[in-house]
């Protein structure tokens, strides 16, 4: 039996069960341990002096008053740092010239964004260091600021980093097919400027780090998604051999991409701990979280689509202007290009091209936030599909169906050279429509309209790329994180028959302890409760490449399955030896390794394990133990897909949007645990709807962060969300033996386009045919009042009579800098 066949054979039937999360009891009873719960003897605290200016020369720094304060142990500025390199940027597209400025742990000479760290204060008291930081006096000479990425590209713009003579970081293109011919044969061309504004990760647990340098060893506890990467870069930046660096990600309260980073605070605390010979701890405040934890999105997407009168799309061209902020962090310049990889969407468009221009501004850098490039691509494709449908006078679903790539079970090569693994987009849409009666929604909309409530329905059919990654593709793409995308797992069966799975993934809310235990349980014939899943500690776990890009199950879960199969194979050999049977005749059934055809002759794993550690029980030449490792490097990415629908009610008087229904059909291959999938989809959609309706990181024209707290940054909560209706189709991936695809980002990827299309659909009778996110009441109200449709005029008159006036100043409010 091949590995693939064997892995799909159900063992104890745990895979596919909606098992409750093993990790939840400790999380919901407050027994989990986060970085801030850890205190070491002799521990010091760190606080950072941060720039209040978005761009300025540092004229002088006076640390004397701070140093004189009781309890202050040290105050450091850039000159004290004996580090030869700054923070890492690890993904450079090959053959592309990238203007990469130094990014020091403490600013050197100039500050480039509000919050840029200028000094590090270390002292005995958590609050004392914050007071001391206020006693560090920095004289700044303000320099010209640029916050608008399009203005930043203009000649004569203020320069973020003068040495480059431009704010452009790089230009990069990906395309295929004959674009010119495609547009030439089009009957209709639609162009839109689609803004995908800046958002924050906003994890509930702020970032936190505790570093202890003792002897010649560094141990760092960090609220990170990437302990293995952090170990590597701490080793490089601090010049400590990698084997002497241990990184532990204890419980991590969410990351959403924002903890896929190597931060100044992590490196700075580790450096200070070595310097002072004492542990140093720092816990982010919420305002620091909004200010200096990386942001995401911030693209202006200029889209041009050509189609024939019957709806056949002939060409699709996008220019992305990506505002990447003041520096480039771990993956910054490559996040906008990631959009390009899925720019064909689920459609057979013959010619597709994406041009990316990365631009620097005086803002904090962007990097991966849930979806990282794919929500942006899906948003622009799917919003454009509705715009095109309106232009053609076609039903948006009919337009989608007309252009769907037909079902495929083996690789489908898109014109841009990306090979999708498997897909059945028709089936996902059909399943969606089993849940939602579009004609009935339209009837309800008619009925509601006289009350001033405008009901709309929006759709999104998407695919995305995840499961990072095949090293053969990722390595040559310039991805510099240990050169590839494999994952490793070790399954250790203890002599008494319980097991430990060590995974190189680093979950921070996704539920790997449950799903991965289910996978291993089925392959060993034990209960998932008998399997402990260990992760997030570079010393106890195997090598790993951590958790991001919805890679963990498709790569790390597969590695776990393979390690478990190796253990099962050895178990079979031991059983065969013990029962004097042929190893090929041993099979796992109902929790026992039995001789095929003789169910009474068999051994449970506990018996096998007992024998495995007593060499005299083993076949000649077999090593004792029941402990196996697997390194798995996939052949391709995986491409989940789905179809989402949203029904909204817009109150034309207030501009408020109410989400009436949200139905999601996602296909991530066979479910390991449907409850985990539902949880991921719910959270993902909330993220997408949050961006579309409420959330925005806003800087003013001087580069001041306006949204520094949750009062200003309107994070979506359960209260705003509807009760999600979810369903699935199952199209196995041929890439891995589990047949699985990722799902951690799917909801986010589809969410913003689905609700945006619904709101625009609702507003069409009011003459509003296009709007950019965030679809806040104010912007919707303004859009209604600047629209020209007959209903809008009526509505405007009514509102005018209520004394609110009817002239909006356009969708962008006065405080909204950057990509609008
Ligand atoms: N799963 C499953 N069956 C499938 C597919 C997935 O049971 N066919 C389960 C997996 O076992 C896993 C979960 O779904 O428990 C998500 O798996 P996967 O799609 O592989 O994603 P990752 O585990 O790699 O998680 C990363 C992804 C990303 S990139 C972000 S951002 C994100 C997310 O997951 N951030 C999160 N989900 C989050 N959830 C929480 N609670 N907190 C975050 O910060």
> Which pLDDT belongs to residue 799?
41
What average pLDDT does this structure show over 251-267?
98
pLDDT tens sequence across 587-631:
999 899 999 988 889 999 999 999 999 999 899 999 999 999 999
What average pLDDT does this structure show over 671-677?
98
What average pLDDT does this structure show over 516-541?
95
* Burial (0-12, 13-18, 19+ Cβ within 10 Å), 543: middle
Report whether pLDDT(790) > 70. no
> Which pLDDT belongs to residue 9?
45
Mutate to test the pocket of ligand 1, among 422, 504, 510 (most ligand atoms within 8 A of CB): 510
**Ligand 1 centroid from CA 746, angstroms:** 9
Contact 335, 299 (CB under 8 A): no
**Ligand 1 centroid from CA 547, angstroms:** 8
Report whether pLDDT(241) > 60. yes
Strand partners, 469: none
What pairing do the DSSP bridges indicate for beta strands 598-603 and 627-632? Answer: unpaired
What average pLDDT does this structure show over 462-478?
83
Query: Which residues lie closer than 8 Å to 699 by C-beta, 6 or more apart?
Result: 54, 114, 147, 363, 705, 706, 817, 818
**Ligand 1 centroid from CA 374, angstroms:** 16
Of 593, 612, 587, the residue nearest 491 (C-alpha): 612
pLDDT tens sequence across 413-441:
999 999 999 999 999 999 999 999 999 99
**Ligand 1 centroid from CA 199, angstroms:** 20
Answer with the residue of higher pLDDT: 397 or 82: 397
Contact 16, 730 (CB under 8 A): no
Report whether pLDDT(107) > 60. yes
Q: Please state the atom number of ligand 1 nearest to the C-alpha of residue 743.
A: 19
Measured CA to CA, the distance from residue 523 to residue 10 in angstroms comes to 8
Report whether pLDDT(811) > 90. no
Query: What percentage of the chain has pLDDT greater than the value 90?
Result: 88
> Which pLDDT belongs to residue 472?
79
Contact 763, 700 (CB under 8 A): no
Mutate to test the pocket of ligand 1, among 207, 251, 680 (most ligand atoms within 8 A of CB): 680
Q: Phi then psi for 381, rounded to 5 degrees? A: -65, -50
What pairing do the DSSP bridges indicate for beta strands 188-200 and 412-413? Answer: unpaired
The domains found in the chain, sorted by start residue, are 3-32+486-632 (3.30.365.10), 35-143+206-252+259-292 (3.90.1170.50), 295-468+636-787 (3.30.365.10)
**Ligand 1 centroid from CA 510, angstroms:** 5
Contact 208, 238 (CB under 8 A): no
Answer with the residue of higher pLDDT: 799 or 95: 95
What average pLDDT does this structure show over 804-808?
30
Contact 128, 74 (CB under 8 A): no
Structure tokens that stand for 722 in this block = 């509807």
**Ligand 1 centroid from CA 511, angstroms:** 7
What average pLDDT does this structure show over 202-217?
97
Within 660-731, residue ranges assigned H as helices are: 674-693
Query: How confident is residue 498, by pLDDT bands cut at 50, 70 and 90?
Result: very high
User: How many CB atoms neighbour CB 399 within 10 A?
Assistant: 21
> Which pLDDT belongs to residue 599?
85
Residue nearest to atom 13 of ligand 1 (CA): 510
Q: Which of 257-266, 642-651, 676-685, 793-802 has the lowest mean pLDDT?
A: 793-802
Distance, CA of 494 to chain centre:
36
Mutate to test the pocket of ligand 1, among 531, 550, 681, 736 (most ligand atoms within 8 A of CB): 550
Give percent helix, percent strand, percent coil of the chain, each to the nearest 5: 35, 25, 45
Query: How confident is residue 795, by pLDDT bands cut at 50, 70 and 90?
Result: low
Report whether pLDDT(27) > 50. yes
Q: Which residues line ligand 1 (CB under 6 A)?
A: 203, 254-257, 370, 507-512, 515, 547-554, 668-669, 671-673, 676-677, 680, 683, 740, 742-745
Report whether pLDDT(261) > 70. yes
Measured CA to CA, the distance from residue 769 to residue 55 in angstroms comes to 39
**Ligand 1 centroid from CA 516, angstroms:** 12
Q: Which residue has the tokens 């009817």?
A: 806
> Which pLDDT belongs to residue 801?
33
> Which pLDDT belongs to residue 477?
73
Report whether pLDDT(4) > 60. no
> Which pLDDT belongs to residue 791?
58
Report whether pLDDT(3) > 50. no
Query: How confident is residue 806, by pLDDT bands cut at 50, 70 and 90?
Result: very low
Query: How confident is residue 810, by pLDDT bands cut at 50, 70 and 90?
Result: very low
Q: Which helix (H) or strand (E) holds 665?
A: strand 657-667
**Ligand 1 centroid from CA 372, angstroms:** 14
Q: In what order do the strands lie in the sheet with 453-463?
A: 453-463, 641-651, 657-667, 725-728
Contact 725, 785 (CB under 8 A): no
What pairing do the DSSP bridges indicate for beta strands 725-728 and 657-667? Answer: parallel
Summary mean pLDDT of the chain: 93
What average pLDDT does this structure show over 281-307?
98
Residue nearest to atom 36 of ligand 1 (CA): 256
DSSP 526-560: S-GGGEEEE-SBTTTS-----S-TT-IIIIIIHHH
> Which pLDDT belongs to residue 467?
87
Query: What percentage of the chain has pLDDT greater than the value 70?
Result: 94
Query: How confident is residue 511, by pLDDT bands cut at 50, 70 and 90?
Result: very high
Measured CA to CA, the distance from residue 774 to residue 224 in angstroms comes to 29
What average pLDDT does this structure show over 522-548?
93
- Taken as a whole, the chain contains a residue count of 820
What average pLDDT does this structure show over 701-723?
96
Report whether pLDDT(479) > 90. no
> Which pLDDT belongs to residue 819?
41
What average pLDDT does this structure show over 325-330?
97
Measured CA to CA, the distance from residue 61 to residue 466 in angstroms comes to 46
- The model carries a pTM of 0.94
Residue nearest to atom 41 of ligand 1 (CA): 509
Rg (CA), the chain: 28
Distance, CA of 193 to chain centre:
24
**Ligand 1 centroid from CA 640, angstroms:** 13
Query: Which residues lie closer than 8 Å to 26 by C-beta, 6 or more apart?
Result: 32
Residue nearest to atom 34 of ligand 1 (CA): 744
Cα of first residue to Cα of last residue in the chain, in angstroms, is 57
pLDDT tens sequence across 174-202:
999 999 999 999 999 999 999 999 999 99
Q: Please state the atom number of ligand 1 nearest to the C-alpha of residue 556.
A: 20
Answer with the residue of higher pLDDT: 594 or 816: 594
Measured CA to CA, the distance from residue 471 to residue 656 in angstroms comes to 47
**Ligand 1 centroid from CA 623, angstroms:** 37
Report whether pLDDT(657) > 80. yes
Residue nearest to atom 32 of ligand 1 (CA): 256
What average pLDDT does this structure show over 322-336?
96
> Which pLDDT belongs to residue 474?
78
What average pLDDT does this structure show over 97-110?
96
Report whether pLDDT(410) > 70. yes
Of 736, 735, 759, 731, the residue nearest 665 (C-alpha): 731
Within 580-704, residue ranges assigned H as helices are: 605-612, 674-693
Measured CA to CA, the distance from residue 742 to residue 810 in angstroms comes to 39
């Amino acid at each position: 039996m091949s590995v693939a066949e064997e892995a799909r054979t159900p063992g104890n039937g745990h895979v596919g069960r909606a098992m409750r999360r093993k990790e939840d009891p400790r999380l919901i009873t407050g027994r989990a341990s986060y970085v801030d719960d850890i205190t070491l003897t002799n521990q010091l605290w760190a606080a950072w002096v941060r720039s209040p200016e978005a761009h300025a020369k540092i004229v002088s720094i006076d640390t004397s008053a701070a140093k004189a304060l009781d309890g202050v142990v040290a105050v450091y500025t850039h000159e004290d740092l004996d580090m030869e390199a700054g923070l890492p940027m690890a993904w450079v597209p090959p053959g592309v010239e990238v203007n990469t400025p130094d990014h020091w742990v403490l600013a050197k000479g100039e500050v480039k964004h509000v919050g840029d760290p200028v000094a590090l204060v270390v002292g005995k008291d958590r609050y004392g260091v914050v007071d001391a930081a206020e006693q560090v006096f920095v004289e700044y000479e303000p320099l010209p600021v640029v916050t608008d990425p399009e203005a930043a590209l203009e000649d004569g713009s203020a320069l973020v980093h003068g040495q480059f003579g431009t704010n452009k970081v790089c230009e990069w293109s990906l395309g295929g097919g004959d674009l010119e011919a495609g547009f030439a044969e089009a009957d209709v061309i639609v162009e839109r400027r689609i803004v995908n504004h800046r958002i924050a990760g906003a994890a509930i647990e702020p970032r936190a780090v505790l570093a202890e340098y003792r002897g010649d060893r560094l141990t760092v506890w960090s609220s990170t998604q990437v302990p293995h990467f952090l170990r590597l870069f701490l080793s490089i930046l601090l010049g400590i051999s990698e084997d002497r660096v241990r990184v532990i990600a204890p419980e991590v309260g969410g990351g959403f991409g924002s903890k896929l980073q190597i931060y100044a605070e992590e490196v700075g605390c580790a450096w200070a701990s070595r310097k002072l010979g004492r542990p140093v701890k720092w816990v982010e405040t919420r305002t620091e979280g909004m200010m200096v934890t990386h942001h995401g999105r911030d693209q202006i997407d200029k889209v041009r689509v050509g189609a024939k009168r019957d709806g056949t799309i002939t060409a699709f061209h996008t220019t992305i202007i990506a505002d990447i902020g003041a520096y480039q962090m771990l993956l910054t310049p490559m996040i906008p290009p990631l959009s390009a990889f899925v720019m064909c969407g689920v459609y057979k468009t013959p010619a597709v091209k994406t041009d990316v221009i990365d631009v620097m501004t005086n803002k904090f850098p962007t990097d991966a936030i849930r979806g990282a490039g794919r929500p942006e691509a899906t948003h622009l494709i799917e919003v454009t599909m509705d715009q095109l449908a309106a232009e053609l006078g076609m039903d948006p679903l009919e337009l989608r169906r007309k252009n769907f790539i037909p079902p495929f079970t083996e690789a489908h090569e898109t014109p841009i050279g990306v090979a999708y693994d498997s897909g059945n987009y028709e089936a996902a849409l059909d399943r969606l429509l089993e849940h939602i009666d579009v004609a009935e929604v339209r009837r309800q909309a008619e009925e509601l309209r006289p009350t001033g409530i405008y009901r709309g329905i929006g759709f999104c059919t998407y695919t995305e790329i995840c499961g990072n990654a095949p090293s053969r593709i990722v390595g040559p793409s310039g991805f510099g994180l240990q050169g590839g995308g494999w994952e490793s797992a070790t399954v250790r069966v203890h002599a008494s028959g319980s097991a430990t799975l060590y995974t190189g993934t680093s979950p921070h809310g996704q539920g790997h302890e449950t799903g991965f235990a289910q996978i291993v349980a089925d392959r060993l014939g034990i209960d998932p409760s008998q399997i402990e899943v260990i992760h997030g500690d570079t010393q106890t776990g195997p090598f790993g490449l951590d958790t991001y890009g919805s890679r963990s199950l498709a790569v790390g879960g597969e590695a776990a399955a393979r390690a478990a199969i190796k253990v099962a194979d050895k178990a079979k050999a031991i059983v065969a030896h013990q029962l004097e049977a042929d190893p090929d005749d041993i099979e796992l059934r109902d929790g026992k390794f039995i001789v095929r055809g003789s169910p009474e002759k068999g051994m449970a794993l506990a018996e096998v394990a007992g024998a495995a550690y007593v060499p005299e029980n083993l076949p000649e030449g077999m090593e004792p133990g029941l402990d196996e490792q697997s390194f798995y490097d996939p052949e391709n990415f995986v491409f989940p897909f789905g179809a989402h629908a949203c029904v909204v009610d817009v109150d034309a008087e207030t501009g408020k949007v109410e989400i009436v229904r949200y139905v999601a059909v996602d296909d991530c291959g066979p479910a390991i645990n449907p409850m985990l999938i539902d949880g991921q989809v719910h959270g993902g959609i909330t993220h997408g709807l949050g961006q579309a309706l409420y959330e925005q990181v806003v800087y003013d024209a001087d580069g001041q962060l306006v949204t520094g707290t949750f009062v200003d940054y309107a994070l979506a909560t359960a209260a705003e969300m509807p009760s999600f209706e979810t369903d699935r189709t199952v199209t196995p991936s041929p890439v891995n033996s589990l047949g699985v695809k990722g799902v951690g980002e799917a909801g986010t990827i589809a969410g913003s386009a689905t609700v945006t299309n619904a709101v625009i659909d609702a507003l069409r009778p009011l003459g509003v045919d296009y709007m950019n996110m965030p679809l806040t009441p104010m912007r919707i109200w303004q859009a209604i009042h600047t629209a020209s449709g007959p209903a809008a005029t009526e509505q405007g008159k009514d509102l005018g009579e209520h004394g609110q006036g009817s002239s909006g100043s356009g969708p962008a409010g006065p405080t909204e800098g950057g990509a609008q």
